[in-house]
Amino acid sequence: MGSDGSSRAGPGLRIVTAEKRLHSSFRDPSGYVFIRDGVVYRHIGHGYLPHYRQLVESGLYDHLVKLRLLIPHEEVDPGLSGADAALVLKPERVRTISYPYEWSFGMLRDAALATLSIQRHALERGMVLKDASAYNIQFHRGVPTLIDTLSFEPYVEGKPWIAYRQFCQHFVAPLALMSLVDARFGRSLGLYLDGFPLDFASRLCPRTSWLKPWLLVHLHLHARAQQSRGLHAARPSPSVGSQGRPGSFSRQSLVGLIDSLESLVKGLRWNPPKTTWRDYYAETNYSDQASEAKRRIVRSYLDLLGPIERAWDLGANTAEFSRLIAERGVATVAWDIDVAAVEIAYRRIKEQGPEALLPLVQDLTNPSPGIGWALKERDSLVDRGPVDLVLALALVHHLAIGNNVPLTQVAQHFSQLGEYLVVEFVPKEDSQVQRMLKSREDIFEDYSRDGFEEAFGETCEILRRDAVPDSERTLYLMRRRG
């Protein structure tokens, strides 16, 4: 198979392999994303070509790439696209696709600030963002990066920002709710793919939020203007048209809009409260000796595995163990249900790295489904796998006892997500499990070390089994059969 997406079946006969267009790439007629031979490409239509040229020739592309705000790409053979392309781009591959409803507060806030920064740089070079979807941002090598290279259009003097509504719905409303009401609101973004409805957010925010001037304007009054379709909710100010040219939304007004949105986003803050999971490592019954032994065992498993590319740490808490994998350059996702733990992990990664580590919010008892148009626009958790390694430390008892999932089903699901599994078994004798069983009847006859090995033995081969010293727990290294 040739690297240009073609294969040769015989002398003189060239078979071009089929392209697979991404299900999420259909809204913008400027182009679309497709995959050929596992490589991601971006098709640019003839209509968009002048805008793309302006992006490059104005120096905006180089500038944004240098600032790590835009995904770098190379121009490749337009023939790689099955349709008539003006250009085909091969962007740098994003190793993990994540969605805003899986981000913590700080991640969504940084994505919002990145979007505004891009808009500001674009305006300086005569262009603007024609959309401001949070889904256009991905955490690439640890930082929020715009992945839609076709999001730019020439700036036309006098025009307001066409993506203002989208920015407020995708960023302002959820950030306000997460900051002022509850950080778990982020998860609800999965219900509203085009951002949180402003009128709904306005009703949910506390009355005191009306005292924040930019929130009053960009959320509350904006919501009312939307509801009345601009009828009477917001009276036109006498200052409209005061800039020399009657009624003009001048360049200066647009800069002011970006300033005000930036000031609003920066003013929204959230600090993780003390939660069960945040203080897990401090409060757990693990001794320092057991904890260090567990690290040593996990490291030895990683040594045994050799080079791998992708790993998922399920129930990762603040990503302490995910770090052991990511530090080896493996693209690692630290999934956890607790938004505070994910926020803490994100802040630490921002300060210290490693950039291969991405913390994300995930409820494993109800994981991200496929959503959007035809349920294919945003991939489910399972669709984004399988990965090379799944790590599940101190998690199985929460699924089996906390959520009544039979061990065989836990084993089947883990095997679906990864080829190699590192799983910790916590027996009933452990004080954490004892605590869970205190307030409920013990109906878990099969929950034992033997039951665990039997359940996982159906789908996996057990490669290693190590007792964690100074604890009742056991670590397993397993490989999915077949």
Residues that bind another protein (CB under 8 A): 27-30, 47-48, 51, 130-131, 153-154, 156, 158-166, 168, 217-218, 221-222, 225-243, 246-250, 252-257, 259-260
Residue 150 or 325 having the CB closest to another protein: 150
Structural contact between residues 88 and 80, judged by C-beta atoms closer than 8 angstroms:
yes
What single DSSP character describes residue 241? T
Which of 53, 93 has the CB closer to another protein?
53
What gap in Å lies between CA 362 and CA 399, rounded to an integer? 14
Distance of closest approach, residue 373 Cβ to another protein, in angstroms = 15
Q: Nearest approach, Cβ of 54 to another protein (angstroms)? A: 11
Nearer to another protein, 128 or 478 (CB): 128
Rounded to a whole number of angstroms, the minimum distance from the CB of residue 195 to another protein is: 11
Site of tokens 């986003």: 265
Least distance from another protein to the Cβ atom of residue 120, Å: 12
Least spacing, CB of residue 90 vs another protein, in Å: 22
Name which of 116, 117, 123, 130 is nearest 47 in CA terms: 130
Nearer to another protein, 188 or 227 (CB): 227
Q: Are 153 and 182 in contact (CB under 8 A)?
A: no
* Gap between the Cα atoms of 174 and 299, Å rounded: 39
Q: Are 149 and 73 in contact (CB under 8 A)?
A: yes
Amino acid at 237: S
Residue among 169 and 471 whose Cβ is closer to another protein: 169
- DSSP string covering 17-29: PPPEE-TT--S-T
Least Å from the CB of residue 131 to another protein: 5
d(CA 389, CA 232): 58
Q: How far is the CB of 232 from another protein (least distance, A)?
A: 6
Q: Is the dihedral of CA 160, 162, 165, 171 positive or negative?
A: negative
Q: Smallest gap, in angstroms, from Cβ of residue 238 to another protein?
A: 8
Give the residue among 45, 97, 174 at the shortest CA–CA distance from 378. 97
Look at residue 12 and give its three-state secondary structure. coil
| Residue 462: other Cβ atoms inside 10 A | 14
Select 110 or 153, whichever has its Cβ closest to another protein.
153
- Are 22 and 35 in contact by the 8 Å Cβ rule? The answer is yes
Contact 325, 335 (CB under 8 A): no
Q: How far is the CB of 447 from another protein (least distance, A)?
A: 52
Distances (CA, A) of 108 to 293, 372, 389, 438, 480: 36, 20, 27, 38, 35
Q: Tell me which DSSP letter residue 72 carries.
A: -
- The amino acid at 388: D
Please provide the DSSP assignment of 346-374 as one string.
HHHHHHH--TTEEEEE--TTSPPPPBSGG
Q: Count of residues for the chain?
A: 482
Cβ nearer to another protein, comparing 79 with 241: 241
Nearest CB to another protein, comparing residues 89 and 344: 89
Q: Give the H/E segment covering residue 65.
A: helix 60-66
| 170 vs 278, beta carbon nearer another protein | 170
392 close to 443: Cβ distance less than 8 angstroms: no
Residue 161 vs 312, nearer CB to another protein: 161
**Shortest reach from residue 228's CB to another protein, in Å:** 7
Q: How far apart are CB 167 and another protein at their closest, in Å?
A: 9
Cβ-based nearer residue to another protein, 165 or 184: 165
Element (DSSP H or E) covering residue 292: helix 288-305
